[in-house]
Each structure stands twice: as structure tokens, then as C-alpha cells.
Structure 1
Amino acid sequence: MARGILLTANLPQLQNLIKRDPAGYREEFLQQWNHYISIRHIFQINPNEQANHFRELVSFIAQVTQCYPAETKEFPSHLSSLLLEHYGSLSPDIRHNLVQNLVMLKNKEVITSLELLKTLFPLLPRTTSSSLRTFIRKTILMDIRTANARSKNLKLNRAVQAMLFGMVERGMDAKASNDRKKDKEGSANGEGALWAIIVTKELWSKGVWDDAKSVAIVALGCFHPVVKVQSASLHFFLGGDEEDEDSDDDDEISGAQARSQEEDSQRRQQASQIVKAEGKKKKRKAKDALANANFPALDLLHDPQGFAEKLYDSLVRFDKRFQLDHKILIMQLLSRVAASHKLTVLGFYTYIMKYLTYHQLRVPGILACLVQSVHDFTPPDALTPVIAKLAQEFIHPGVGGEVIAAGLNSIREICRRQPWAIEEELLGDLIEYRKSRDKAVTSAARGLLQLFREVNPGMLKRRERGKNASMSLAEGQKPAAFGHGQEAAVDIEGLRMLEDHLTALREEDDAAGGDEVDEWDGWDVESEESSDSGDWINVDSDGEDNIDVSDSDDETEKKKAEEAKAEESLLPSTLATTKILTPADFALLNDLRVKAAEKAVESGAGPSAKRKLADLQSAQKASASADDRNTFISEQDILGPRKKAKADYEERMASIAKGREGREKFGSMKGKKNKETISSTTNREKKRNKPLMMIMGSKAVRGKKKASLRDKQRKLRAHIEKAKKAYH
């Protein structure tokens, strides 16, 4: 009896004894289990009654569940139902305790990861505690990362992705009427979809998920009716992170601000400076991240044309509801999808024309979106009105030089991607701006002229074409019209060098294989003694033509070398017909050609080899710069070179604070009294210390004596007015 009372009153001691001898303390455990069942029914009716005792019982049973799996098989479902069905009525301590015990059951392999995640995911949008939300979030991410550490856990990934997809889709169904009133259900659906997007983005950024299904989840979020969810999804494809999408960071920042208010004034100033610096750093990071789109995710989009058309439909449908910054985000994603997949959404160019005015807010970003959406498959007829609108709004004498430069740079970048989009007369008028006195305008106009000298010199006047362009036109070289491609290539120069390089690499890999490869050499070749037993003998496929009846081995080798040399000079490499060449293969091919040309120059080749090397190097640099231009265009490319902008208040204060470093006192140093060595005084101080007899003979004193009454009255009145102003 004493033993039972002791064990019932001391649950940690009973827990220790059960783990040592589960069979010996089975009756004591069943007693506590029955007690838990009765307390659980009472707790469901009134959660405030015996809450502490119920928490202790739950922790005790969770610790010893693996010792009695048959009796406690329903225990994990009890905890899950309490969290999912009675979450609002539970206290914060009970919620945290139940979640911790569920995680412990998963660690003890009592429940699976999928069962745990089915409980944790619905809790993310419902919890209001930052600590619990952080714990749930870290648990979810760590569990999925651990499951995919050695190899991809496809079963778990598919189940979790289906769960997240349902969270996003459920919110869209609830808001199908596009009603923007915030109710409890809509808010919960929006929060659930937001957390689904956040978890998907983090798993993608950590490299845990890199498949098309995770991209499909975020792609669905791009059309969610809640703007915050849509914005987070758009930032995923654009490569940046929204500042306010992580509520945990907001809680941490607010907590830091609350703590800083309790400190002294000096530490508050330091904290405010740190916050300002971090804010600038976040903006700078967001800007840099926005310049690097998430191209792997764009490549994994399912039906990119349909995705782009849906983005355009959302722009047109909710044009009055969306703010300008959000519309620019949609434009950026639409333009990048169009550029990445060579898509055409003709209505987009008609829609964007209403924003092409020089007084439009954030017009450089809008121009960047316009330029980014253009490619060589874009119809010129759709771009000609856009270029005419740009010239009409941005390029005329009534605007500043920066506006004209932005318009010229935009037209230049559009024509770089589609040279047939501009009319010949308009091009001639724009090129005349190279005679402007503004440096930015002159640079932009010269860039446009240089571009058409390269891509389509026939649209320029004869005196503007330049030497190289005139020579190419004289030789009959003309750019292909829209819709016409280049002639099919018969062979690729230097392809045999690439084939030899790949063969050499393959031989090195075979040689690095060790003795294992050597042991298996000739395993299918029988000995000479068994050659008469009717086995197959490997021979060339050419049959009798390759059989040389000559008695001399030297003649045979010489003849074979001549045939190989003749074959190499006549026939192209078979690499193009047996392998799909990737961009990496072409880059390697160009490097091999450059190296071969360098070796030829070093060996003392003629001037033709040097010219060939220079052409290859310039072409390599031009292709690299062209890839950079086509990959992304920023607002700085639209604005062009500019003067240094005027510093704002924060930058001026930072400059002042930097100048004060190392100084003992922030004040005037007139007279230099604070210096260790005495230096000369100012002229005003010298006048104060002059003898009276020297001052009496000065011009100023004599003028006062000879001043008229009117002058004295005027000076007195001015003195009175000045004193009044100083007093007020």
C-alpha cells in the first residue's frame, strides 16, 4: 500500500522505474492510464480544471509510451484531436506541452513523420504565440530535411506537397467571389496559404525540394486572392524575399524595440542607428536579389504560356484594386517568364502603354518590365506603337536630359532584342540626339547608333553606317527578316577538337578505374587454342575491303594513316549526330578553339592566326555580355549614367557622424583655445584687444562721427527690428 501511494504521488519516480522494468510496473501504469482517461474527459468539458495535473499525466505517458504500445496506441490521436479540435480553448502552456509531446513521440518512432506533420501544419496559421510558432516551423523544416538527408523520400514529399497544395487551394476556393472583406474564415485561409508558401520557399532555398511540384504550389499562390500570399509567391520567382512575410522576424524586431525603450538614451540612439542600417541592408539585399531571378523555378513551370496569360488576366481584372508596387511585381514576373520561354502575350503591350509617361511613379521599373518581355520572336507590329509612344512621351525638348536618356535607352534595349520594331524615320530622328550637350543623352543616342551599325545598318543613312557596316552591306550581308532563320549548318568548326577532348577525358576515367578494369579486359575473347572450336571472332564491319594482303606491316600502317587523314579532312565529326550538345558543350568548344589559336600564335604562326585569335576572343566576350543583357535588365540600364544623387537626411547625418570620429568635443574651435600649443587668434579677436587710441583713428569710427541723422535713425530702426525678430 505504501508503495502504491508513493508511486502514484511521484510520477517522475514511477517513470524511471517503468523504463527499467515495464512488466513489473504494469499495474501501476494502468492505474495512471485509467486516471488519464477520466481526467481527459473532464478536461475536454472544462480545460481550466486540473490543467496542471493533466499536463503532468500527458508528459508521463508520452515518456513511457514505447513500453506499452498496445495500451497506448490511441494516445497520439488523443493529443492530435485536442490540438486540432480544442485549440482555441487551451491555454498556451497546454498547447506547447501537447506539441512537444507529439514531437517526442515521433522521435521515439511511435508515430510517423507524416502523422506529425498532419497535426503541425494546421496549427501554423492558428497559433498566436511567437515561440510556439517558431518551434513548429523549425520542427517541420528539420523533419523534412532529415527525411531527405541521404536520399529523396518521395512518399513523404508527395504527401506534404499535396497537403501544402490543398492549403493554398482551399483559400482560393473560399475567396472565389473576390470579396475583400476580412472574415475569420478568409483570414485563416489566407494565413494557411501564406505559411504553405513560406515553407515551400524555405525548403526550396535549402535544396531539399527542387522538383516541379514545389514550383506548382508557389505558382498557384501567384493567383491567390489574398495580396500578401500573392506577393510572397511572386517574390519566390523574382528571387527576392518580402520583408514582412516572416512574422517571427517581426516579433523579434518588436521585442528588440521594447527592450531598447527600457535602456538609457545613448543606447537607444545606438539601437536606432543599428535598426536604420539593417533596414538599408535589407532593402539593398532585396534589390540585389530582385536582380537575380529564380531561373530554375521558371524553367520548371508547367504550361508557361497559360501561366503568363493568367498573370496578364489578373493585371487587367484587378487593375483598380492592386497598388502600383504590386502591379509592377506581376509585370516583372510576366516579363521574365516571357523572356525565359520565348512567349508572347500581345495584350500586355497594349496594357503597359498607359503607364509610359515620364511623370509616372516608378517608371524606370515599368520600362525594365517592358524591355525584359521582348525577344526575337516578339512580333514587330506589336512593338512599333510602343516605341512611338516612348518617343512621344520621353524624347522631346520639353523634358529633362534624364528623361530623354531613359527613353533612348529603353528603345535601344527593345531594338537589341527585336531590331525590326522601329521605323526608319523615327530611328534617324533619335540618332540626331547624339549632338546634344547632355552627356547622358549623347551616350544613349550613340549607343542606339552603334547597335544598328551591328544588327541592321541598312536602316541608317549612308554617312552614319561606319566603315565595317558599309563593307558588310557591300558584300551583300543583310540581317534576316522577322520569322526567317539562318541557313542550316553543315558542320560546326572545331567539333572534332571537342570530340578528341571528350575521348581523352573518357580514357583518363577508364585509366583511373584501377586494376578492376584491367582484369576484365578481353573477357569475351577466347584463347588461340579454342579458336577452332567454332566460336565467334570480332572482325571489322567493312568485311574484305579492310583486309590487307600486303606482306609489309609498315606499308599497312602508312596506308591506314593516309586513309584516316583523308577521312578527317573530308568527313565531319560524328559527335553532332550521336550527342545532344548542351550550352556547356558549346562553351567548352569555344574555349578549345581559343586555346588552339593561342598555341598557333605562340608557335610563330602568321598574322592570319593572330587575327583569328582576336576574333575568337572578341566573339567570346560579346557572347558573354549578350547573355548578361538578355538574362536580366535593371532600372540602372534604363536610366543610364547619372550624376551623383543628392544625399538624403540619413546619409548626411551618417557623414556628419563619420566626420566627428576621433574628436574630443563637437563644437566650435574658434581661437583654438583647446589646443595644447597656443596659436594665432582671429582678426575679430585682434580688433577687440586693440588700444583705444588706435581704434579712434580708424575709418569705421570716423564714419560713425560724420553720419547724418537720417543714417543714424535708419540704423537704430534696423537694430530694433532685428531685436524684435530675435525675441519672437
Structure 2
Amino acid sequence: MVRHNNQLPENLPQLQNLIKRDPDSYKDEFMQQYHHFQNTLEVFSLTPEKHNKTLDELVMFMAQVAQCYTNELANFPQQLIDLLQKYNTLLDNNMRMQFCRALILLRNKNLLAPTDLLELFFQLLRCQDKNLRTFLQAHIINDIKNINAKHKNAKLNTTLQNFMFTMLKDTNTRAAKMSVDIMIELYKKNVWNDTKTVNVIATGCFSKITKVTVASLKFFLGKDEDEKSDDSDSENEIDTKEVMMSNKFNKKSRKREKNLNKVKKLAAKAYKNKSKAESFNFSALHLIHDPQGMAEKLFHQLESTTKRFEVKLMTLDVISRLIGLHQLFLFNFYSYLQRFMQPHQREVTRILQFAAQASHELVPPDIMEPILKTLANNFITERNSSDVMAIGLNAVREICSRCPLAMNEYLLQDLSEYKNYRDRSVMMASRSLIQLFRNIRPQLLHRKDRGRPTEATEELTELQYGEVAAKDYIRGADVLLTNEKTEVEIDSESGSDDDEWIDIAHSDNEIDEVTESEEDTESEKDISNGSNESAADLDKVLSKVERKKLKATRKLQDKADKVELAKKATMERILTDEDFKRIDLANVKKQVFSTKKGLKRIAEQDPKERSELVKLGDIENIYKKRKHDKQTRIESVRQGQEGREKFGYKDGRMNIHCSKTNREKRKTKNYQMMRHKVQAKVKRSFKDKQIALRNHLIKLKKMK
């Protein structure tokens, strides 16, 4: 290769380019620069706190050509590491950053092990250089991500995770905080999303360093970045072809069409909710090895901590999520929350949210009952404002939806009396509580509040504490073996008005629902009246009671037959997508229609399908008209005025500086100057017009 005599040794970029093209030909020039580097390094060690531009350029030059002379530069990485370890706090910021860039360049060329570099970088976190710390954190995350890009390097990951675990216990605040931030970022990037990483981060919740504790708690309170989309395919929608055909060939009426649209919407909504991708709001909590132990340690730490109130709230949030998610037992937690359940307490709605999140079916009712009584005494009283009462009722509803046995009959009936309260927010909150218990424990409600029973409520069975309703069949599968249609068929009786409705989807054995209380009351009344009547009337009374008992027996037999059909359909055949669509449509029909002819009720959300996380908006949900308060109305008015022309009289002049007309000038004149003209324009009454016309006609007559 031809030598370029004009390329001087001082021109390092040019020499670097030539060496990368032909390393062997320029080895002498390289050795000359290498000896110069060694000499400069010795001089620099005498005054490490000063910036040395020559050493700065030589270090980067050596790092760029290191892959060309691996034997000669075998000790070069270790020299830089020793230099940074020895003078890490004395070096100039620019010099320290340049040495780190050179080491990263060597690491990218696989001339340096990642563990050696990580250990050095964590030591450099003690330096008072924020830019350097940010730069090192970004490199560590990208380096580990690139290592696991093609396949997981389990051995290296284990070594790095163990190193991170030791750094969490480091006495240096910056090093510990940096290590937990790196692990959290790697978890979010799905690089280290295993159980070991989660449990290492969990140990950070018990750190003595507040910043590490807060970062770890926020990690468990956050959401997954890459949740699956809720988009549902069109093929998952319920096929309503049969429903439309039924409506096409049956008698047309306005109510039939309205009811058909309602059932189609409910069926589509139910199937859409079922087809949504399962999302975990805090899936990291699912990977905890010992959730009970972690909850107990956090609660013990909470009772003895002197940290800020915001940190206490985050700790309460994590404990409540652990209890609700893993169905843990931590009975002292509920009594601890009771102390903060006051309307004047700061962030009281979040305290109520934590109480709801920590509720589950395995909590004994006598533990949760004091929580409900505290809410009723402190919030749901007329001495408080309507907003406080509504929030208290919403909190009771959220707790009872997860722990239904906590509510007793007397308290529920007392809270139900607010359904006719003068304030709309309290009224709606009370009615939502009533609607919840209609679907889970209707027997606790007063008979007038239970609403019209549906086929779905008839199938409800009250579970005792610790009881599990394990079914060996799919609910509603009996529709596959019967001649009933899965759509809703409603027909009117011959000769009746269109306003009367008949559910012809029921079999002949189905009867009107008669509650036990009605049977007992009517039978006692009839028997007491019958004591004063004749024997024939007594026979009629007895026959009436027997007839009711017979109907009830047939009803139970009908229910048993449906269960047997559902078991047979589930066990003896492979269900297809079309079968599941028919079953879903039949279940929606049960929620809409009552057992009584012509009665229907709107289907509500299944309480068993509620999410694990309690939304703060569900507790703070106050039913008010939009723009209710003055400040909101003012903001809405000002928002509507943006981009609008100025309100008032629009001047039609092309040039606003030209003179105005007399009509325009009159608008700005004093009233006393225009008074006589204004009076002339006052409209006369009909009587005045008659008098004026009469005088005018008289005057014309005299003139003739």
C-alpha cells in the first residue's frame, strides 16, 4: 500500500482511518502513539484533577483501533478501569465521561466483560455528576437488552441479578436507587420479567432509603405497558339472525321492535365483554413468592414508620392489593383503616378505595362488619353533605360486591331508605346498592325493593362463609337440547292490545313466582278467616294452599330438569362457537325477562366479573348534572367564546376609521337627547288606534 507522507503523527483521525484499513502497514505509527499514551498517562497521574486534552484524544484513539491490535492493547481496558477506580471523585467531569465512553466502546467490541463494567459503573454513581449517572444508566439498560435480544442468557442474567441484589443493600443512596430503577426499566421492557426480578424489587420495599422504597412501591402500583388491546373480532359477535327472523314472521308492534333492539344490544355487549383480552393491572403482584409474608412485613413497617403521609398511602395501596389479589388474612389492617375513615381526613376517598380492595369472600363477616358500621356512622348521616353521603354509599357498595356476607339485613334496609332522598347523588348511590343486592343476596332487601324476579335471580343460591359453588355443567346449556329458540320471542294474545306482552319462550309448566313470605301471609290469613266460615269454604282454602304447594313443587322439578339437561349437553357433546353463542343469548334473555308474563328488567353487570382493582372513580362517582357548580359553568362559557367573533352590534363599515351614520351615533348619545324620538316610536294600543281612526274619519266627513 502506498504511504501518504503528508499524514503526520499528530493527525489522529487520519491515522485512525488508515489503521482500520490496513493495520499491519501502520503498526509502527500506532506503537509510536501507544508509547506517547503511556508517557502522557504517567504525567496525568501526578495531577488527576486537571483536564488533559492530549490524554483525552489518545484514549479515544486507542479505543477506536483496539480491535486491530488486541495483543498490544490487552492491558488497555484494565488501565482505564484502574484509573477510574483510583481517581473517580477527583477526575474532571469531561475526562471521566470520556474514559467511560472509551470503556463502552471497548464493551461494544466484546473486548470487555459486562460484569466488570457494571461493577465499575456502580462505583461511579458516587460522583457528583448527574449527566454521568444518567448516561451510565442508559448504557446498562441497553447493554443488558442487547445481550438478551436473540435469546435469554440465563447464566449472565443470574450473575447480573445477584449483583443488582447486592447493590440494593448498598449504603450509598444513589447506587441503590440506580439499581432498582434499572431493574424496573428492564422489567417494563420485557427483558427481565421473571419472578426473580420481581422478588428482588420486592425487597426494595423494606429498604431504609426512602427513595428506594418509593420506587419499589410505585413499581407494584403501576400498570403493564403492553397490555393487549381490547379490540374484538367481528366473528366473535353474537349472531342475531334467528332473533331477526323471529321478529320478521311474528306480529309486528312497536314494543316488539324496541325489545328486539334491546336484547340485541345486551347480547352483543355481554359477548364483547367476554371476548376482551385478559388484562392484569398489576401482574407483578402475581409473581410474589410469599405474598402473606410481604403483606405482614409491610404492615409492620407501616405501623412503626415516620415517613411522609404519601409514602404511607402507597404502602396501604400495595397491602390492599396483595390482600385482595391473593385473598390473604390480615385482620389488623381493617381496624387500622377505620382510624382514617372520617370525612375530614386527607385523601379519604383513597382510604375507602383501599378498604374495598382488601375485601374478599374469605374475610370473616364479623371483621368487615365494623368497617360498614363506621362508614354508616361517619359518612351516611344527614349531618354531612350530600357528596359525603354518596361517597359513603359507593364505598359500601364496592365492599359488599367483593364481600357480600359483610352486610346484615337491618343495615341494608336502613341504607335502602335513601333511595328517595332529596339529593340526586345520594338517591342514585342508594339505588345502585339496592341493585347490587338484587343480583347477589335479594333476600336481605325489603320485599318492595327486590324488584321483579327474573329467571337469572331464580337460579341464585346463597353461599355461606367459605362455601364454593362448583358446577359440573355450563349454565344455560339446556337450551341446546330443547326446542326453545335462543332469541327472545314475544307475542301478544289474540284480541289484546299491543301494549300487553307475553313471553311464549316459557314452557307450559312455568308459573308465576310466589315468594315464601307471600305464601305464609296469605295462607295464615285464609286459615284465620276460614275459622269463622263454613266447612265448604275451609275446603276451598285448603285446596288453594295445596294448589300453591303443587305449583311450587312443579317449579322445583322444572328447575331440576333444566339442570339435568344442562349436564347432559355439557358432558355428551363438544360445544362449538355457535353453541356458546346460543347459550350466551339464552342467559341474556334470562336477565332481561321476568318469570311473570310481560315483565322485563334491564340486565346489570355480573358482580363476579368485576375487576381486581377498585377504581377511584367508582367511589367518587357522584351523580350530578354536568356544569353544576359555578366555576365549571364559567369555564364552559369561556371555552365556548374562544375563536368566536366579538358579541354585540356588528359594524358594517369596510373601514372602521371612517365616519358613522346618524343611526349608529344615536346608540352612544345621552338618553335625554333622544327622549323625544324614543317616545314617538312607542306602539299604540288597539284602543288608541280605534280612537285615532274614528277622529280621522270624522275629520274627513267634515271636510266634505
Structure 1 contact 237–294 (Cα < 8 Å) conserved: no
Q: Give 1:631 deviation, angstroms.
A: 2.1
Decide whether aligned partners of structure 1 residues 129 and 683 sit closer, same or farther in structure 2, where only a CA change above 3 A counts: same
CA distance in 2: counterparts of 1:31 and 1:353, whole angstroms: 78
Q: Give 1:649 deviation, angstroms.
A: 8.4
Over residues 426-449 of structure 1, what are the superposed CA-to-partner deviations in whole Å (9 max), with x where a residue is unaligned? 222111111211111111112222
Q: Give 1:494 deviation, angstroms.
A: 8.9
Decide whether aligned partners of structure 1 residues 308 and 48 sit closer, same or farther in structure 2, where only a CA change above 3 A counts: closer
1:293-304 equivalent positions in 2, closer than 5 A: 294-304=281-291
Decide whether aligned partners of structure 1 residues 7 and 448 sit closer, same or farther in structure 2, where only a CA change above 3 A counts: same
- 1:413 maps to a residue whose letter is E
Q: Percent identity?
A: 34
Which residue is 1:661 aligned to?
Answer: 643
CA distance in 1: counterparts of 2:636 and 2:451, whole angstroms: 50
CA distance in 2: counterparts of 1:22 and 1:118, whole angstroms: 32
Which residue is 2:299 aligned to?
Answer: 312
Which residue is 2:197 aligned to?
Answer: 214
Are positions 1:201 and 2:184 aligned together? yes
Q: Give 1:14 deviation, angstroms.
A: 4.0
Structure 2 contact 125–175 (Cα < 8 Å) conserved: yes
Which residue is 2:156 aligned to?
Answer: 156
Q: Give 1:129 deviation, angstroms.
A: 4.1
Which residue is 1:94 aligned to?
Answer: 95
CA distance in 1: counterparts of 2:158 and 2:134, whole angstroms: 24
Which residue is 1:224 aligned to?
Answer: 207
1:380-419 equivalent positions in 2, closer than 5 A: 380-419=365-404
- 1:34 maps to a residue whose letter is H
1:21-420 equivalent positions in 2, closer than 5 A: 21-48=22-49, 51-124=52-125, 126=127, 128-130=129-131, 132-170=132-170, 174=171, 189-239=172-222, 294-318=281-305, 321-420=306-405
CA distance in 1: counterparts of 2:169 and 2:426, whole angstroms: 50
Q: Secondary structure, in 3 states, of the residue corresponding to 1:150?
A: coil
CA distance in 2: counterparts of 1:78 and 1:623, whole angstroms: 72
CA distance in 1: counterparts of 2:335 and 2:321, whole angstroms: 18
CA distance in 1: counterparts of 2:640 and 2:456, whole angstroms: 58
Structure 2 contact 359–402 (Cα < 8 Å) conserved: yes
Q: Which structure ranks higher in relative contact order (CA pairs < 8 Å, sequence separation ≥ 6)?
A: 2
CA distance in 2: counterparts of 1:297 and 1:623, whole angstroms: 31
Decide whether aligned partners of structure 1 residues 52 and 429 sit closer, same or farther in structure 2, where only a CA change above 3 A counts: same
Are positions 1:614 and 2:597 aligned together? no
Decide whether aligned partners of structure 1 residues 623 and 42 sit closer, same or farther in structure 2, where only a CA change above 3 A counts: farther
Structure 1 contact 125–195 (Cα < 8 Å) conserved: no
Q: Secondary structure, in 3 states, of the residue corresponding to 2:610?
A: helix
Q: Give 1:107 deviation, angstroms.
A: 2.2
Q: For structure 2, which runs of at least 5 residues remain unmatched after alignment?
A: 225-278, 481-566, 594-601, 680-704
Over residues 98-133 of structure 1, what are the superposed CA-to-partner deviations in whole Å (9 max), with x where a residue is unaligned? 111112112222123333333334434635243x44
Q: Give 1:234 deviation, angstroms.
A: 1.6
Structure 1 contact 408–448 (Cα < 8 Å) conserved: yes
Over residues 117-169 of structure 1, what are the superposed CA-to-partner deviations in whole Å (9 max), with x where a residue is unaligned? 33334434635243x44433332222222222222122332222222222212
Which residue is 1:638 aligned to?
Answer: 619
Which residue is 1:523 aligned to?
Answer: none
User: How many aligned residue pairs are there?
Assistant: 525
Over residues 533-560 of structure 1, what are the superposed CA-to-partner deviations in whole Å (9 max), with x where a residue is unaligned? xxxxxxxxxxxxxxxxxxxxxxxxxxxx
Which residue is 1:572 aligned to?
Answer: 571
Structure 1 contact 124–137 (Cα < 8 Å) conserved: no
Structure 2 contact 349–616 (Cα < 8 Å) conserved: yes
TM-score of the two chains, using structure 2 as the length reference = 0.65
Are positions 1:437 and 2:422 aligned together? yes
Structure 2 contact 419–428 (Cα < 8 Å) conserved: yes
Q: Secondary structure, in 3 states, of the residue corresponding to 1:111?
A: coil
CA distance in 2: counterparts of 1:167 and 1:495, whole angstroms: 58
Over residues 75-110 of structure 1, what are the superposed CA-to-partner deviations in whole Å (9 max), with x where a residue is unaligned? 111212222331221112212211111121122221
Q: Give 1:301 deviation, angstroms.
A: 1.2
Q: Give 1:611 deviation, angstroms.
A: 5.0
CA distance in 1: counterparts of 2:41 and 2:61, whole angstroms: 14
Decide whether aligned partners of structure 1 residues 634 and 674 sit closer, same or farther in structure 2, where only a CA change above 3 A counts: farther
CA distance in 2: counterparts of 1:150 and 1:363, whole angstroms: 49
Decide whether aligned partners of structure 1 residues 4 and 167 sit closer, same or farther in structure 2, where only a CA change above 3 A counts: farther
Structure 2 contact 478–569 (Cα < 8 Å) conserved: no
Q: Secondary structure, in 3 states, of the residue corresponding to 1:38?
A: helix
Structure 1 contact 594–613 (Cα < 8 Å) conserved: no
Which residue is 1:274 aligned to?
Answer: none
- 1:595 maps to a residue whose letter is K
CA distance in 1: counterparts of 2:180 and 2:18, whole angstroms: 46
Q: Secondary structure, in 3 states, of the residue corresponding to 2:643?
A: coil
Decide whether aligned partners of structure 1 residues 295 and 412 sit closer, same or farther in structure 2, where only a CA change above 3 A counts: same
CA distance in 1: counterparts of 2:671 and 2:114, whole angstroms: 88
Over residues 11-46 of structure 1, what are the superposed CA-to-partner deviations in whole Å (9 max), with x where a residue is unaligned? 444434444444454444344333323332332231
Decide whether aligned partners of structure 1 residues 395 and 469 sit closer, same or farther in structure 2, where only a CA change above 3 A counts: farther
CA distance in 1: counterparts of 2:644 and 2:454, whole angstroms: 61
Q: For structure 1, which runs of at least 5 residues remain unmatched after alignment?
A: 175-188, 242-291, 499-567, 576-588, 599-609, 697-728
Q: Give 1:211 deviation, angstroms.
A: 0.7
Q: Secondary structure, in 3 states, of the residue corresponding to 2:673?
A: coil
Task: Please identify which structure carries the higher helix content.
Answer: 1
Structure 1 contact 594–617 (Cα < 8 Å) conserved: no
CA distance in 2: counterparts of 1:219 and 1:91, whole angstroms: 37
Q: Give 1:357 deviation, angstroms.
A: 0.4
Over residues 457-492 of structure 1, what are the superposed CA-to-partner deviations in whole Å (9 max), with x where a residue is unaligned? 33233443344289978x9x6512112223x54445
Structure 2 contact 420–427 (Cα < 8 Å) conserved: yes
Structure 1 contact 222–229 (Cα < 8 Å) conserved: yes
Decide whether aligned partners of structure 1 residues 681 and 12 sit closer, same or farther in structure 2, where only a CA change above 3 A counts: closer
Q: Secondary structure, in 3 states, of the residue corresponding to 1:222?
A: helix
CA distance in 2: counterparts of 1:100 and 1:497, whole angstroms: 71
Are positions 1:482 and 2:465 aligned together? yes
Q: Secondary structure, in 3 states, of the residue corresponding to 1:404?
A: helix
Structure 2 contact 479–583 (Cα < 8 Å) conserved: no
Give the alignment's Cα RMSD to 1 decimal: 4.1
Q: Secondary structure, in 3 states, of the residue corresponding to 1:630?
A: coil
Q: Secondary structure, in 3 states, of the residue corresponding to 1:468?
A: coil
Q: Secondary structure, in 3 states, of the residue corresponding to 2:670?
A: helix
Q: Give 1:376 deviation, angstroms.
A: 0.7
Structure 1 contact 453–469 (Cα < 8 Å) conserved: no
- 2:434 maps to a residue whose letter is L
- 2:319 maps to a residue whose letter is L
Decide whether aligned partners of structure 1 residues 592 and 207 sit closer, same or farther in structure 2, where only a CA change above 3 A counts: farther
